[in-house]
Structure 1
């Protein structure tokens, strides 16, 4: 028997884009994805939470790479007969979006935003998110990814972290943290981006270091009442000399008293050959503990703010024997370790720069100058006054802002934190139950959880989660709002809550509440939240799950108006919130790049 098969001639010029377009059109015309969901609607469930892509620009190759992994695995599970939610997600707030809007508007700093107007800026941020969310959806469809991109009425089916629903879930989380005593305002030295005008958290800093060449400064501080006798000190951040209040000595090390020309210097003996010229003469060896408690003249004591400082040498075990001089310049207002030392032994503290990196009014001839522009001015000042010993370039690893790539500074600030010690052990225990592929991902998480500090959640920015914190200045009581229901109940003017177009700045800033302790009106703190709060809550917010507390159950606001309710109506599985969470939580599988161990994976674990 002969079988004749008719094939179209192959011309050797396969046009892959055309072929892909025909397949996409066939899927669309025949409703293939909808048929798949209908076919699997009553099948066993398999849960996947999509790590939200940021809708600030079009999708990049690295995004397409990750989405390919997700699509392959979700399709595989569908082929194995599992029902899924198929929900895409978008990150919408924080510096990711703000910086791109600033670029588009030609802005260089927070001051430009304030002059432009916060309402216009927030609307511009929202518009950019909507624009690029749709762009990413179309790119994803073009690359063949299957997700529930649109509801039947044409509205987006993705979740958006800027929606009021997501914000309310985070409010609830923060109110629980407050009730447990974990939420507090801390006064500490923080990594600070002067361009963005805000602090950054520990987990944003980990991969932000890169090699950079900066001026390093060897300078000398005269010992009080001992002419021509100096401590020799080294720093890689000359601007912080403005905030010097102490010098640190390693008490268990030996120090050398040496003579060069007509002057005498103290430095660690192990570092003499590395630092000093060959003609230096060793006078004697001095135990470090004998140099503790001595007064000295500061490197920039000509500044008005320095007149109030009591300076002394102090003992510190963290003094290195590897580089520098073995005598460490201490500026508690500019360094995390320096600040902690100042708290332990009661040192004076000077904060020399403002939010935007400009020297403050108390900084004398440096007043109004920017920290990035003063290195040469400081060098000349030190040289003129006989304080400079040597100035040279130094290559080292230095942190940069993860979003705008500006070199960071460390600055003392009041920020909001969530204490982590109480939940450290439970988090490590739950993380150990996860199957990590590859296995070293689990080791990375355990290491991170072992060493994480308290979570710094506040950002001094504009387009982001409005922290629901109302600190009463009259009685010092901390009020934390857990829902819009509670906000309305406690608002001085409840009608203003009903009239809110959305829960963002500047609109939310207009709402005053009544302090639950003294009954005085209280304004919300101006800070917004860390963007990783936005993403960490999505397993709960996308399932509309809020436990009964403070009148929360049954409430759902959305900046997309009726679309939130429409979203619930369009869900393939009609379940209550509790059934939803039991069916789809926790996820069976998530997939992201390695850095998300300390970012999205961590924030989900923390907030759960």
Structure 2
């Protein structure tokens, strides 16, 4: 007889395989057509807001895995917040100005920027940027990042540029913007100034030289004709030398070597002696650095003086303690040069070639100047030692070529006046991870003025005019408001398209001399000023709460967007533009290496989506500790895919066993439920509480680990396993079966919500199969609440002990299975010989057969343990073959099988079910 037809086996159309690469795009298309983002926002309207302000990725190229990590983390938070009592809008954005787009237009579209009409070139840059905005928008949507993709913010849009001009104007009005001649990071390869955030450090081989400067006026301290020794790794800056800095508090010594006298710091004498191969230098005299202020030396090859000055920046880390000072080529040099009125000499042009201010080197590229200067020093008898070192050196993050410090006339934002205010704000912000506070605090504490001007074509112009008569700059409330309005109507290219007369409000005259003829500034703003203005251009423009609740970006943004946004917001509005900052690390390959095409170790999020599915990628994001650098590889993704398969199968089992369950009529009251089912509901509340807390703490790896363990261990390996007998074999509408179905339904409702932010496609699919469902999408419901009436700690403790005992018994059953003593565990009769503590545990339930999934269990209290029993923790176990016949319906082996006159092949339970349900047996 075929009794399988009489079993309540799982039935569901929910497929075993997700086929995510094929099905996810269909789901996303349906969400677009049904305007799910708008429905979510309509549902949550009127709730307290939670605004995660999107930091703009650059509109150039495909999204990489770092972008994917960032966008998916943001989506976790926004989805969670919208399901936990908040109105959480998400406005994506793009950064669209700057050199990379200029460079791409020039190289990919074969455009000569310098020969093309500026307006036409800027239009080509606009179209290029917007193409990549659309391209990346599609990739972000494929990652299932939910947001207002039809209305993103884009930094090249007129309304955005208008706000940027207002921010600049307010900073200028408050006295924080100035123009000055200062050394800044300069990229000869880009022909532009750079900000600190645009610098990367790579290894570089540089010359290391020791040079002697002859004393011409020792101020009665040093003998005329003696020498001061400097050390430098940039020989090309020697033509710009205007002084030598020493520390006022350090000890210096005049030493005699081979008939010459040299000044060095006493703390570095040993190092210098070794480098210059001095065998036994004789100390002739000692000085405090302060005593030597005003000593005059002669430049090694130019007819000019090089005075000794005092500088606190001098250290004993390396060199000689006497620092070559070129105010045009270094920040510390500039400051000490300003103090002593040394002047500023920077004899290089925009491309890094020496000008006529460096006689003998005019027209030479600065790096070639290293060799030429060294040779000239040797000819003059000033070179004491030449060697080469490998060290970390600043490079342009776009061209990857070395940068230099070069004094040029630039626009700066001074932060000195509100630095303390920013430090106060940093202390008031919530930081994830906590070390972010120290990192940004130190950066703001130590940073200098921000160079905000760039000598490029593609960006927002600096809205300043200069009097043609006296050169005095013109910028005031009227000009800012007027330019802002023009930019808002026509975009920033209007600055280049219109004359000064058309750009200025009527009646403008020079505040210094009264003339009314002006020329406009040619420089554009640093792109970090663009993105750093987004808190105003997006939040205030769109009527969203300001400050934002959160900024979330990679750890590189402490010196980038976090930094620039803090400066502009504090300067204009008096506080930080964010209440909290969350930062994540970088994505490395499986061996912890940086990804690069040359290594062939790049994992492409687009390809992962096409091959495995976005939900697999999102599950990986949830599994890692994003606060540090994270690893990804094909092997890691395979492991995640296997975890996904187990999670999916668990949901399929739950759905399959609820196919005949109507929650409106079949749910049992909690008090009438079986104890095991009540235990699982209590356990679910513990999991729920832990997961909700982890979401609140943005600890997604705990969310993943907790839910993965509950689904695959607590549910799949334990509860579903021990429940199969009652689900399949009991009366279809019997209390035991309905109790288990009730517990499964309750847990399913919780689990699908908890995983919805992480696995949106899969949980949406699950949602459609839940019986009695009336809400169209899981995105349109809230997170579950902890039901205190389900929490029973005593029950959890009790079943915790039983499950631990079960694990021990399963070990004995596995040995019996390997020894081929039994096949299925239902063929077993388990004999237990417990110690006193375990005996008490065994007395906690009368369903040991169900717990162990065996046909018979015998407990031997106080009896001697047989020699062939397996001794385990707290109990000895002997597995024998169960006595009796096998029930052809439930497969349990019992002595009672065959006693029913109408159902000779069945156990009493199955015979009763056959009678009650009036099954027709298939012959």
1:464 Cα deviation after fit: 1.0
Q: 1:533 matched to which residue of 2?
A: 529
Is residue 84 of structure 1 aligned with residue 88 of structure 2?
yes
Is residue 507 of structure 1 aligned with residue 507 of structure 2?
no
Measured in 1, the distance between the counterparts of 2:373 and 2:76 equals 58
Q: 1:231 matched to which residue of 2?
A: 228
Counterpart mapping for 1:410-489 below 5 A:
410-480=405-475, 486-487=481-482
1:55 Cα deviation after fit: 0.5
Measured in 1, the distance between the counterparts of 2:417 and 2:244 equals 35
Counterpart mapping for 1:105-116 below 5 A:
113-116=113-116
Counterpart mapping for 1:206-605 below 5 A:
208-224=200-216, 229-276=226-273, 277-282=277-282, 284-287=284-287, 288-289=289-290, 291-301=292-302, 307=303, 309-480=304-475, 486-487=481-482, 501-504=490-493, 507-508=496-497, 510-512=499-501, 513=504, 514-515=508-509, 517=511, 518-543=514-539, 545=541, 580-581=543-544, 584-605=545-566
Of 170, 188, 196, which residue of structure 1 is paired with 2:190? Answer: 196
Of 182, 186, 191, which residue of structure 1 is paired with 2:176? Answer: 182
Q: 1:5 to 1:499 in 2, by over 3 A?
A: closer
Deviations for 1:384-435, whole angstroms, at most 9, x for unmatched residues? 2222111111233322223322222111122212232332233333333322
Worse-superposed segment, 262-271 or 517-526: 262-271
1:5 Cα deviation after fit: 4.8
Deviations for 1:48-67, whole angstroms, at most 9, x for unmatched residues? 21111111222111001100
SS in structure 2 at match of 1:239: helix
The answer on whether the counterparts of 1:168 and 1:484 sit within 8 Å (CA) in structure 2 is: no
SS in structure 2 at match of 1:300: coil
Measured in 1, the distance between the counterparts of 2:352 and 2:257 equals 38
1:264 Cα deviation after fit: 3.4
SS in structure 2 at match of 1:80: coil
Counterpart mapping for 1:153-164 below 5 A:
157-164=151-158
Measured in 1, the distance between the counterparts of 2:249 and 2:10 equals 90
Deviations for 1:439-463, whole angstroms, at most 9, x for unmatched residues? 2222323333333333322112221
Measured in 1, the distance between the counterparts of 2:290 and 2:90 equals 66
Q: 1:134 matched to which residue of 2?
A: 134
Q: 2:741 matched to which residue of 1?
A: none
1:606 Cα deviation after fit: 2.6
1:209 Cα deviation after fit: 3.3
The answer on whether the counterparts of 1:359 and 1:369 sit within 8 Å (CA) in structure 2 is: yes
Of 12, 23, 37, which residue of structure 2 is paired with 1:19? Answer: 23
Measured in 1, the distance between the counterparts of 2:567 and 2:484 equals 29
For structure 2, which runs of at least 5 residues remain unmatched after alignment? 1-5, 218-222, 570-923
Measured in 1, the distance between the counterparts of 2:566 and 2:526 equals 16
The answer on whether the counterparts of 1:99 and 1:404 sit within 8 Å (CA) in structure 2 is: no
Question: What TM-score does the superposition give when structure 2 sets the normalisation length?
Answer: 0.55
The answer on whether the counterparts of 1:190 and 1:410 sit within 8 Å (CA) in structure 2 is: yes
SS in structure 2 at match of 1:222: strand
Q: 1:538 to 1:248 in 2, by over 3 A?
A: closer
The answer on whether the counterparts of 2:443 and 2:559 sit within 8 Å (CA) in structure 1 is: yes
For structure 1, which runs of at least 5 residues remain unmatched after alignment? 151-156, 302-306, 491-496, 546-576
1:361 Cα deviation after fit: 2.0
SS in structure 2 at match of 1:353: coil
Q: 1:251 to 1:489 in 2, by over 3 A?
A: closer
Measured in 1, the distance between the counterparts of 2:448 and 2:483 equals 35
Is residue 122 of structure 1 aligned with residue 122 of structure 2?
yes
Q: Count matched residues.
A: 548
Deviations for 1:114-143, whole angstroms, at most 9, x for unmatched residues? 244433432232122111111101111112
Q: 1:154 matched to which residue of 2?
A: none
Q: 1:222 to 1:93 in 2, by over 3 A?
A: same
Measured in 2, the distance between the counterparts of 1:27 and 1:231 equals 75
Deviations for 1:295-326, whole angstroms, at most 9, x for unmatched residues? 3221231xxxxx4x332222334332232122
Measured in 2, the distance between the counterparts of 1:509 and 1:426 equals 40
Measured in 2, the distance between the counterparts of 1:96 and 1:433 equals 36
Worse-superposed segment, 517-526 or 96-105: 96-105
Q: 1:218 to 1:23 in 2, by over 3 A?
A: same
Deviations for 1:20-66, whole angstroms, at most 9, x for unmatched residues? 23432443454434433333345443322111111122211100110
1:103 Cα deviation after fit: 4.3
Q: 1:57 matched to which residue of 2?
A: 61
Measured in 2, the distance between the counterparts of 1:489 and 1:20 equals 44
Measured in 2, the distance between the counterparts of 1:202 and 1:406 equals 15
The answer on whether the counterparts of 2:463 and 2:483 sit within 8 Å (CA) in structure 1 is: no
SS in structure 1 at match of 2:190: coil
Worse-superposed segment, 383-392 or 96-105: 96-105
1:175 Cα deviation after fit: 1.9
Deviations for 1:168-190, whole angstroms, at most 9, x for unmatched residues? 11211222222222222122221
SS in structure 1 at match of 2:209: strand
RMSD: 3.0
The answer on whether the counterparts of 2:203 and 2:393 sit within 8 Å (CA) in structure 1 is: yes
More helix per residue: 1 or 2?
Answer: 2
Measured in 2, the distance between the counterparts of 1:323 and 1:354 equals 30
SS in structure 2 at match of 1:322: coil
1:265 Cα deviation after fit: 2.6
Q: 1:123 to 1:373 in 2, by over 3 A?
A: farther
1:593 Cα deviation after fit: 1.5
SS in structure 2 at match of 1:134: helix
Is residue 93 of structure 1 aligned with residue 97 of structure 2?
yes
Q: 1:101 to 1:229 in 2, by over 3 A?
A: same
Measured in 2, the distance between the counterparts of 1:499 and 1:219 equals 57
Measured in 1, the distance between the counterparts of 2:510 and 2:410 equals 23
1:15 Cα deviation after fit: 3.8
The higher relative CO (CA closer than 8 Å, separation ≥ 6) is in 1
